[in-house]
Structure 1
Amino acid sequence: MTEIDRRTENLTSALRRAGVRITRQRAALLSVLAEAEDHPEAVELQRRAEDVVPGISLSTVYRTLTELEAQGVILRHQFEGTPARFEHSETHHHDHMIDVDTGEVMEFANERIEKLQAEVAEALGYEIVHHRLELYVRKKAGGAE
Structure 2
Amino acid sequence: MTKKSSRIILIDSDVVSHFLRAGKITALSTIFKTPIKILDVVYCELEKWKGKQQEIENLIEFKILEIIPFPQTNTEISKEFFWIKKSRYYGDGEAACMSYAKHTKNVIASNNLKDTKNYCDLHNVDYLTDQEQLLCLRKYCG
TMscore range, shorter length: under 0.3
Larger Rg: 1
- Normalized per residue, the structure richer in helix is 2
TM-score between the two structures when normalised by the length of structure 1: 0.26
Higher RCO (C-alpha 8 Å, min separation 6): 2
